[in-house]
Structure 1
Amino acid sequence: MLQMALRTTVVRVWLFLMVSTLISWWVGSVTIAGLGDSGNARDVYTTIVLLIAIIKVWFVIRYFMEVREAPRRLRTICDVWVVLVGLTIISFYPFGLL
């Protein structure tokens, strides 16, 4: 039964989202615990968490909002939107705008 469930793409994407959530939680807890006390380490950890979030957004849009089956133009618009918003958020962070 488990093997059949793992064959579906949506289940694999869901598992990826769960694992990436745990990874970003761990990276965030390392920062909060004080292991990344230097400013550079905090910036790196925060950037990693933001990148994971951007990747997760792309997967949710693509697989759970059914954009993967949409016309190519809509897929491209969604991909460009995720990249632009993600880069904007990441570029704002070092300047203290977030």
Structure 2
Amino acid sequence: MTEGYVGADIEGICREAAMLALREIVTPGVDRKNIQEKAGEVRISKRHFERAIRRVKPTTSRETLSAYEKSAELFARYSTEFEEETSEAKQQETKGEKKEMPDFLQAE
């Protein structure tokens, strides 16, 4: 129901649902004092959220979300490979074997 929505979008849905419920209670011609009294009568229902979801569109497109997921998957894969290579190089160094390690990985 909220696929593609980010936290700020969900917040927007909640605000919109609250405003929809409030608009049902506060009608034209109601003075400020009556608005404050009626504010306690506001009840937000599933119906308000359903209408709000139809009005508030996700800021993240499916394409952007898909690209992000692919990037995260690649990063995870390369990170794992990097960790394995680093671990292997350290083990070989401990055994007295020398394997070329990038400068930034070598202890100072």
TM-score range, shorter chain: 0.3 to 0.5
Normalised TM-score (structure 2)? 0.30
Q: As a proportion of its length, which structure holds more helix?
A: 1
